[in-house]
A and B are shown apart, each in its own frame.
Chain A
Amino acid sequence: RKEVEQDPGPFNVPEGATVAFNCTYSNSASQSFFWYRQDCRKEPKLLMSVYSSGNEDGRFTAQLNRASQYISLLIRDSKLSDSATYLCAVNSPSGTYKYIFGTGTRLKVLA
């Protein structure tokens, strides 16, 4: 089993739709979680950190489910500009600060 897993997609959704992605992790001692956005042939850009209590930034909501060992990203009112690959990242525990990235979920928002 991979340490961090994501559905590669693509998720094809119409503009205005709500879409959610999950990311599962295998190490229950993982401490920090992040979502990044990566456009084609560009570098990943930090979208948001994922806190235990969940967090929201505009149309984006991230949540952590420690019991089931996954994080989620919800995008409401999808825009064409949201089309990208969304990567989750998990910070390994024990002070190693080794980040494990998922392979990404591709989102295509259609007009």
Chain B
Amino acid sequence: EAGVTQSPTHLIKTRGQQATLRCSPISGHTSVYWYQQALGLGLQFLLWYDEGEERNRGNFPPRFSGRQFPNYSSELNVNALELEDSALYLCASSPDFYEQYFGPGTRLTVT
């Protein structure tokens, strides 16, 4: 069974630009979670999507947004990039709102 996939693997942007990150969940999983993991810090919850709807969001500014498509894949958009947005962005999917399975992540570097 294919795991969670994310693209791109690496992304380099300059301050002020927009970044789009993509995630495909495990087949049959309808929930997708996004996390930010900055260097030396833990996973910070960003967003939770289920059945196409945003169900919850963490303490991040509105320039972090996303959506979930009818096939349950998801997109995370970060507008007006700031240097401190440089981090590993992880997507996870879940079959039951409990156990989460992570993708390999997108490493975003903002210069």
Contacts and interface: CB of A to CB of B under 8 A. Distances in A.
Interface in A60-108: 87, 89, 91, 96-104
A46 B101 contact: yes
A16 interface: no
Contacts of B104: 42-43
Q: DSSP class of B's interface residues: helix, strand, loop or mixed? A: strand
Contacts of B99: 34, 46, 49
B102 A98 contact: no
Contact of A101 (B42, B55, B105): B42
Contacts of B56: 96-98
Contact of B102 (A44, A91, A100, A102): A44
Given A43-B102, A96-B56, A97-B55, A103 B97 contact: no
B100 A46 contact: yes
Contact of B45 (A34, A98, A103): A98
B39 to A, nearest CB: 10
Interface string B28-59: 00010101000001110100100000011010
Q: DSSP class of A's interface residues: helix, strand, loop or mixed? A: strand
Q: How large is the interface on B (under 10, 10 to 19, 20 to 34, 35 or more residues)?
A: 20 to 34
B98 A49 contact: yes
Contacts of A41: 88
A59 interface: no
A107 to B, nearest CB: 16
Which are the 4 A-B pairs with shortest beta-carbon distances? A103-B42, A43-B102, A101-B43, A97-B97
Interface of B: 31, 33, 35, 41-43, 45, 48, 55-56, 58, 88, 90, 97-105
Given A43-B102, A101-B42, 20 more contacts: A34-B98, A34-B100, A42-B104, A43-B90, A43-B104, A44-B43, A44-B90, A44-B102, A45-B102, A46-B101, A87-B42, A87-B43, A89-B100, A91-B97, A91-B98, A97-B97, A98-B56, A98-B58, A103-B42, A104-B42
